[in-house]
Structure 1
Amino acid sequence: MSDKLVIFAEESSDVTNLPDAKNTLRPWKVLVVDDDQDVHEVTKFGLKGLTFLNQPLELLHAFSAAEALKVLQSTPNIAVVLLDVVMETDHAGLDLVHIIREELQLKNTRIVLRTGQPGYAPEIEIIQKYDINDYKNKADLTRTRLFTTVTSAIRSYSEITTLDTSRKGLERIVLASSALITLHGTRELANGIITQLAALLSIAAEGMICFKQNTDTHTEEEEEFSIVAASGDLDPPSHDAIILDNNGNVQAMLVEAASKRRSIKNEYACVLFFPSECGNDMFLYLDIQRPLIETEEQLLEVFCSNISVCLDNASILDRLHNYAYFDSLLDIPNRVSLAKHIDQVMLEKIENQAIVLIDIDHFSEVNDTLGTDSGDELLRLVANRLREKLPEDVFIFRVSGDTFGLLGPQQLTTPSEINKILLQPFDLFGDDLTISTTQGIYILKDANISGTNVIKRANIALKRAKTVVRGESVEYTHEMERETHQRMLLLQGLRKAHAESELYLAYQPQVDIRTGKVNGLEALMRWKTKTGTMITPDQFIPVAESSGLIIPLGEWVIDTALRDIEYLEKRYNQQLQIGINISPAQFRHPNFLQMLQEKLDKFPLPAEQIEFEVTESVAMMDTDKVRDILQVIHNSGARVAIDDFGTGFSCLSYLETLNFDRLKIDKSFIDKMLSQSTGTHIPEMIINLGKDLKMDVIAEGVETEEQIQRLKALSCFEVQGYFFAKPMELTQLEQWLQNRPA
């Protein structure tokens, strides 16, 4: 908005079809009150043809105080009352003065007492006692003196009225601004502006507010204005994007104001111009049916300055509303809007409705390999195709990153219908790209559930689908929510357990079966609640990994394990190797190596005594990155083992390309050595593979003498398992070590 909002252009408008030009100057109203007809005639003759402050005079006549009272009650804006003192009674005029000031509250009207019998009303006493503005003897009022008296009274009335109008106008502006600033949105504000402006000028609310897009594609004859608010006869049936072609006068004034980019006015209307920095200029057309006086123009300027603040607030509210309910990238409704639509569907009890969440599989790879611009373009292509192919009664939303939401009839949102639409290749900057999607479905049945909870349930189904198998769809069940709730409670409990030291490390010995010597220990995290309940690792470790809590927990494990092994070495003078499990989430963390080096520096142990155990899933990460991390670990002197070998990643080529030190045979393969004659095949293959690659091999989960003998026969001499010891707390481990022969 410009600093000076209301600057009227020169009145050279070419607007046609205006009413005939008349003397539209408002006359000064002067009421002559006297019971003598001759006085009326003389006054009329004395003031005939004269103008006062460039405006004509309008004489009103009353022949008694009672008649004058009726005129005063029915006629507004009487400037001067020429009042006789003696009429029905000796003090009828003086009594009327009291009524004018006290009962009618006409404080601005100038009262000039005229008397032909001065003795009945001494001048000094009257002026002191009554609120009058002048006192004249009828015999002294020549034409010149009458003109001077009336002119002086009118000038006084004009100045007082101007001040009063300004004061009241400013009060109205303050009140109006307070009222307008509470309105939400541009459309609501626009209606309020017309109402408040009409009240300020004391005119009927006949007007409209329009916006015009600043473009160079239209001539003046083709100017398009969109009405956002209108009142009175200008109120059309619809306010949305109307071309103003039904009222030539209004259109002409709007076009002129737009071309001059200034406010304009004529004797019957005005157009106020509000330039916009965002490209949508605002115009306020007001049908005033009379010229504006100078005071009103000044008030308009103040009023419009306040409007600019309100408009800024309304624009901010509109933008916030848009941000709150629409996705700016795809120009479709967002998650909040979806929740509101679901609430409305529930309220209207529309049957057979479903919500489907559609997640684009491996979308992050598009961003990583082709760039975020390609990722954004793919999202636009998906949104556009859904809009083009789905029926109108299926609503489309962007719920989050690469997840879309559909809300519509169940038969139109089935997985087969959606796949039919999305499996066709997309033209991504000239290249064909085929995508697959994973879908979570919730059928709207429970009328007592909110839109937010509906989305939550659909998201539970989507997460289950992504966990089970990508590219498929899963429909929500209550069992899924119960499981999710249990996981949430478990996560909350795990956070609390970490904060309150309910977690501890247990150590399982690793033994050389040829000599019985303890070569090392594996550190295993355990959780025992304050009530004594044990929570198994297969329950809480996946929760910790999926939530990211594994990062601080993993750091705590490393710190605790290194401190304990340092203590054992000093206490028992044994060089034990410590095996510490590293989660794939830890391995991927950007600060992993820095954290690792800090821990190695903190505890002055020989690095070769430290072995970090990772699962085969690490090999599925970026090969170069994994190789670099392993190299840094080996440079420190520490070792790296592959835990649960043979149960995960099927391609063994990573064993040659990545630098590992030891293979750990999973317990599931060791268990089969007892039940099948062929149960040794896989352990034998792993042992031979380790020999060929010059890697050490250790068997996990060894529980029986028979397993020991079979492993000896296969030349696997390092084992850990219940045959020797279960995982033990540090104090139990100390007792176990003390009871072992040297």
Structure 2
Amino acid sequence: MNDAPSLDDDDVVRFIDEPSDWAPSTQIDPWRILIVDDEADVHEATLLALRDLTIEGRPLAFLQAYSAQEARAILAQDPSVAVVLLDVVMESEDAGLQLVRWIRRELDNPSVRVILRTGQPGYAPELETIRSFDINDYRTKSELTRVRLFTSLTVAIRSYAQIRQIEMSRRGLELIVEASTGLIRRRALQQFAEGVVTQVCALLNIAPEGLICASSSGPFAHAAPLVIAAAGRYRETIHRPLAELHETPVREALRQCLLEKRHRFDQGVCLYFDVSETQGMAAYLAMTGEPSRMDRHLLEVFCANISVGFENVLLHNRLFRLAYYDPLSGLPNRNRFIQLVEEKGGDPNMALALLDLDDFADIATTLDHHFGDEVLRAVAERLVQTFGSGVILARVAGDAFGLLGPRDLITPERIQQVFSEPLRVRDETIRLSATSSLITLNGQPARGGDLLKDAGIALKQGKRLGRGKANYFSEALGRAAHERMRILSSLRAAFSAEQLSLVFQPQIELASGRVIGAEALLRWEIEPGRWVPPDQFIPLAEQSGLIVPLGEWVLRTACRGLYRLTELGYAGFRMAINVSHAQFREPGFVSMLERVLADSRVEAARIELELTESVAMDHIDEINTKLADIRRLGVRIAIDDFGTGYSSLSVLRQLHVDRLKIDRSFVGELDGPDTKAGIAPLIIALGHQCNLTLIAEGVETEVQRQCLLAMGCQEAQGFLFARPMPIERLEDWMAAQPG
């Protein structure tokens, strides 16, 4: 097809006896040249003309293709080809031009240089072809003498080297920018360091071959320098100690660089980075010969700037750990655990568990918080030993841990195994138990916070049912919890909107039938005729802390009602007001009570606070101190619902109170055939023994009234006498009573 020209010593030779796959033998990376021509003579002549030549200090290696199709296969597999010597006309008239178009557009290789050669001058418009396809040179084969071929190839290789240097520089900058914008990712430090290696190699115009190691300090837990990033043939050394580096000269050069805290250029290039978060970082670059004075100056400026970059990366890593890891145990914290649950919770074979240490507060209170911290660390270590790396562990609260992993690993039995043996802390033997909750994930995407909330619901249920056991979350538990949250939200809104009210149930002296007072009762009407029972919303108010402002409102409203009745002439009228145990425990309760009494201008002796029997479960001395403060104000104290709790006779004798209130459940027993066999007679006898007044609630029948009176109960309230009523109706009811 194309005729190779006959040339003298300076021209391309038509035939040679050398083998066609000849390439120089050298350890220096050669420039790879692809010859594409459908005539074997042109291949042989080109190889002979360029034999033993070097360009920019590097030899030439040749690849050969006899069609555009063969060339595509070679270029697709070998991205390191520097120059293509390309015939225009081969299997088709524009096969060469189509190959160039494919290289630039489909292969997306802008760096390889193309020298077009044609045996048919003028076939393709030279300017248009060169402009459109980024071609270095376009010559007829007759023009390409040995010197001209060498000249065109040298220009093309220099262009290729410049383009590759720009690409390396851009890639290094891209890695650094990527690390800068993704500092919170786990590999941010490694990405940044790899970018530094690539960038500095581009500055020195060498291949990206090198590594960076850091000496221990700050976030590094290793005791010796560790390789934190590597490129090229050193990539396999990442995360290994520097002492394990096989190349002794490289290892010693880095060690000296870190020891002397300065750059070294005697064994390759060793750069020192003064990074405050470490005891120093050092980079090794595989460079033959020493860099020039200008290169050294550039490297010093580069290292100074990059040291700041390293510090920023490490600072962000430290902030990441502070934000997502528990400093005490080293485990992920609640925020990180939620992220991990969302990442891995889509696996239907996974389970989530919450584990809460029982009575841990007593350990910290009895001993000290430092000892408590050591106990928590010991528990974390025991969890790691028991569950291993197959389960994600986290500390999600003060004494609560989260577990996420395969269902067959996270089981109640395995959780109990954690505490089957006592812990050793400061030579002390500590035996702990834990209440846990488990959720088996269904494979559906879910918010980690919602799953943790569901596990918390099951955990609270487990604490109520019995500590030291595991409780699985169920949909019924979830619905009940959501209903409680709905009620609590509505209660807050109703309290803010002043939609709660008080009703008053009269209290009667049994012997005379005289009205002696009333009990103030809180009511919540969500719509006309529809009420929420107090036993549903009062416990929620106690758990949420709403009971404190709500209790003060009840106290003030009841005192205002008492003031109105006093103004109407009922001077000896007594107002009984319920006080929640949670409200009573508040440190400022007594001072609040004193303010309310002063503001309402009622006589303190006319106020009686009803406390539940659960106050006896606290420390008696502390309770009596607060009761004494209340009694000094002149306020009386009654124990409500007596007999339903756990008070003993000795505890009752220690509590300085004025009245016992018999629960309605015991009053209801008095309608039976054997009234003396119930609890009410025992409570009345106990009250007499302790010189306390007795009042019964829930009296609904005349039989009950007569029984209570015969047993010695002095007072009562219930539907037999009057139902609870608003203050206005109570005033009318009082006015209608016989004088």
| TM-score, normalised by the number of residues in structure 1 | 0.71
2:494 aligned partner, one-letter code? A
Aligned residues: 568
Distance 1:391 1:440, change over 3 A: same
1:310 aligned onto 2:313: no
C-alpha distance in structure 2 between counterparts of 1:316 and 1:568, whole Å: 69
- Kindly report which structure 2 residues correspond to 1:295-374, keeping only aligned pairs within 5 A, or say none: 295-347=294-346, 349=347, 351=349, 353-374=350-371
Compared CA separation, residues 281 and 422, structure 1 to 2 (3 A): same
Gaps of 5+ in 2: 1-168
Matches within 5 A, 1:14-93: none
Q: Which has the higher contact order (CA 8 A, sep 6+)?
A: 1
Q: C-alpha separation between the residues in 1 aligned to 2:443 and 2:572?
A: 64
Give the corresponding residue for 2:717: 720
How many Å apart are 1:293 and its aligned residue? 4.5
Match of 1:424 in 2: 421
| Residue in 2 that maps onto 1:281 | 280
User: Counterpart in 2 of 1:194?
Assistant: 197
Cα distance change of structure 1 residues 308 and 269 upon mapping to structure 2, 3 Å threshold? closer
SS in 1 for 2:436: strand
Give the secondary structure class of the aligned counterpart of 2:262: coil
SS across alignment from 2:486: helix
SS of the residue 1:319 aligns to = helix
Distance change (3 Å), C-alpha of 1:200 and 1:741: farther
TM-superposed CA distance for 1:202, in Å, is: 4.3
For 1:175 and 1:299, the matched residues in 2 are separated by 20
1:587 to 584, 592, 596: 584
Map Cα deviations across residues 60-103 of structure 1 (whole Å, 9 max, x no partner).
xxxxxxxxxxxxxxxxxxxxxxxxxxxxxxxxxxxxxxxxxxxx
Question: CA RMSD, aligned part only?
Answer: 3.0
Question: What residue is the counterpart of 2:215 in the other structure?
Answer: 212
- The answer to whether the 8 Å contact 1:460/1:481 transfers is yes
- Could you tell me which residue of structure 1 aligns to residue 632 of structure 2? 635
> Take 1:269 and 1:512, find their aligned partners in 2: how far apart are those partners?
102
Distance 1:401 1:537 in 2: 33
Identify the residue that residue 685 of structure 2 maps to in structure 1: 688
Give the letter for the 2:703 counterpart.
Answer: E
Residue in structure 2 matched with residue 257 of structure 1 by the alignment: 257
Matches within 5 A, 1:427-466: 427-466=424-463
1:419-455 CA-to-partner distances (Å, cap 9, x unmatched) read 2331322223333222222121212234343443333
1:663–1:468 distance in 2 versus 1, CA, 3 Å: same
Say if 2:402 is the partner of 1:405: yes
1:408/1:234 Cα in 2 relative to 1: closer, same or farther (>3 Å)? closer
Q: Secondary structure at the match of 2:246?
A: coil
1:622 aligns to 2:622 (yes or no): no
Distance in 2 of aligned mates of 1:673 and 1:191: 86
Please state how far the C-alpha of 1:172 moved relative to its aligned partner: 13
> What TM-score do you get using the length of structure 2 for normalisation?
0.71
Write out per-residue CA displacement over residues 19-51 of structure 1, whole angstroms, 9 at most, x where no aligned residue.
xxxxxxxxxxxxxxxxxxxxxxxxxxxxxxxxx
Measure, in 2, the Cα distance between the counterparts of 1:703 and 1:512.
15
Q: Deviations over 1:621-647 (max 9, x none)?
A: 122211111111111111111000000
For residue 532 of structure 1, report the CA deviation from its aligned partner.
5.1
The alignment partner of 1:723 has SS state of coil
Is the contact between residue 667 and residue 700 of structure 1 (CA under 8 Å) also seen in structure 2? yes
* Mapped partners of 1:550, 1:358: distance in 2: 29
Q: Secondary structure at the match of 2:649?
A: coil
Q: Is 645-654 or 394-403 further displaced after alignment? A: 394-403
- Deviation, 1:201, is 4.5
Deviates more, 1:638-647 or 1:248-257: 248-257
Q: Match of 1:551?
A: 548
Structure 2 vs 1, CA of residues 409 and 267 (structure 1 numbering), >3 Å: closer, same or farther?
Answer: closer
Once the two structures are overlaid, the 10-residue window that deviates more, 335-344 or 243-252, is 335-344
Which residue is 2:236 aligned to? 236
When residues 282 and 645 of structure 1 are mapped into structure 2, their CA distance, relative to the original with a 3 A threshold, is same
How far apart are 1:678 and its partner, in Å?
3.2
Counterparts of 1:211 and 1:668 in 2: how far apart (Å)? Answer: 75
User: In structure 1, what is the Cα distance between the partners aligned to 2:507 and 2:200?
Assistant: 89
Question: Residues 679 and 502 from structure 1, CA distance in 2 versus in 1: closer, same or farther, beyond 3 angstroms?
Answer: farther
**1:255–1:647 distance in 2 versus 1, CA, 3 Å:** same
Matches within 5 A, 1:451-530: 451-530=448-527
How far, CA to CA, are the matches of 1:363 and 1:223 in structure 2?
A: 35
Is the alpha carbon distance of 1:270 and 1:472 closer, same or farther for their aligned partners in structure 2, counting shifts above 3 Å?
Answer: closer
Return the alpha-carbon distance in structure 2 between the equivalents of residues 720 and 688 of structure 1: 19
Amino acid at match of 1:585: A
The structure-2 alpha-carbon separation of the partners of 1:636 and 1:356, relative to structure 1 and needing over 3 Å to count, comes to same
Deviation at 1:295, TM superposition (A): 4.6
Other structure's SS at 1:390 match: helix
1:525-674 matched pairs, under 5 angstroms: 525-530=522-527, 533-674=530-671
Tell me the percent identity: 38
Q: Which runs of 5+ in 1 are unaligned?
A: 1-169, 216-221
SS at match of 2:507: strand
Change (3 A) 1:214 1:501: closer
Q: Structure 1: how far apart are the matches of 2:241 and 2:530?
A: 68
Instruction: Report if aligned partners of 1:183, 1:189 keep a CA contact under 8 Å in 2.
Output: no
Counterparts of 1:531 and 1:716, CA distance in 2 = 38
**Per-residue CA distance 1:453-483 (angstroms, 9 max, x = gap):** 3332222211111122222222111011000
Provide the rounded CA distance (Å) in 2 between the counterparts of 1:336 and 1:462: 19
**Aligned mates of 1:628, 1:483 — CA distance in 2:** 39
2:388 corresponds to 1:385: no
Larger CA deviation: 546-555 vs 684-693: 684-693
CA distance in 2, matches of 1:275, 1:393: 35
Q: What is the CA deviation profile of residues 159-215 of structure 1, one whole-angstrom value per residue up to 9, with x for unaligned ones? A: xxxxxxxxxxx9999999866632413222212222333344444333322111269
Q: Describe the SS at the equivalent of 2:207.
A: coil
Opposite residue 192 of structure 1, the aligned amino acid is: G
Q: Give, in angstroms, the shift of residue 322 of structure 1.
A: 2.2
The one-letter code matched in structure 2 to 1:711 is: L
Match of 2:144 in 1: none
What code does the residue aligned with 1:227 have? V
Shift of 1:692: 1.6
CA distance 1:269–1:618, shift in 2 (3 Å):
same
Aligned residue identity for 2:327 = S
Structure 1 range deviating more: 636-645 or 389-398: 389-398
